[in-house]
């Protein structure tokens, strides 16, 4: 094997500022990183998967949800994480993009808000704070076409499912 890159990481353990579940869509990466820095999240445990919070709110199968919940639990156990940020974004391909909402950004935003509320329902051990945000794109928004709406999501006693 040929060594391409050398990097020494600090050997001491750390406490994560938050676990962050977000989509792997490259278009939102800069906005997510800026948002986290502005929130004081300098050491996030990043959980980056297609669809982000959708994997908890409306997963394709039980394995998907279980895998994400285990990642959150690992962050809590290994890095004493007390907060979880759940992220979604507009025009997400796992939802069918903006086209799935007939181009209606308001309807898409309402859907994402409901999905974030569903995703905030965790079984078993939970962090002390769950925060959701949706990255919306469009020419009227700042951050290079991206804006993040942030809201604290109260944990419901049980998930509400809309079909």
Q: Tell me the whole-structure pTM to 2 decimals.
A: 0.79
Buried b or exposed e, range 24-57, using 16+ CB within 10 angstroms: ebebbeebbeebbeebebeebbbbebebbbbbbb
Q: What is the pLDDT of residues 26-71, one digit of tens each?
A: 999 999 999 999 999 999 999 999 999 999 999 999 899 999 999 9
Q: Please, what is the average pLDDT of the chain? A: 82
**Residue 130 banded pLDDT, cuts 50, 70, 90:** low
Give the pLDDT score at 129.
62
Tokens of 159: 């998930």
Domain 18-152, second-level architecture:
3-Layer(aba) Sandwich (3.40)
Spell out the domain ranges in the chain: 18-152
Structure tokens at 37: 């820095």
pLDDT at 1: 86
């Amino acid at each position: 094997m040929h060594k391409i890159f050398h990097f020494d990481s600090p050997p001491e353990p750390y406490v994560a500022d938050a676990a962050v579940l977000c989509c792997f869509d490259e278009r939102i990466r800069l906005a997510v990183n800026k948002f986290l820095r502005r929130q004081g999240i300098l050491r996030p445990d990043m959980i980056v998967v297609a669809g982000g919070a959708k994997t908890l709110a409306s997963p394709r199968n039980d394995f998907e949800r279980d895998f994400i919940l285990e990642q959150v639990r690992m962050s809590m156990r290994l890095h004493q994480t007390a907060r979880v940020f759940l992220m979604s974004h507009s025009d997400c391909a796992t939802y069918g993009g903006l086209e799935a909402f007939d181009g209606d950004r308001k309807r898409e935003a309402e859907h994402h808000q409901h999905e974030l509320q569903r995703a905030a329902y965790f079984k078993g051990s939970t962090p002390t704070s769950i925060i959701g945000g949706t990255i919306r794109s469009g020419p009227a928004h700042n951050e290079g076409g991206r804006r993040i709406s942030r809201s604290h999501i109260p944990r419901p006693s049980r998930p509400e499912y809309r079909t």
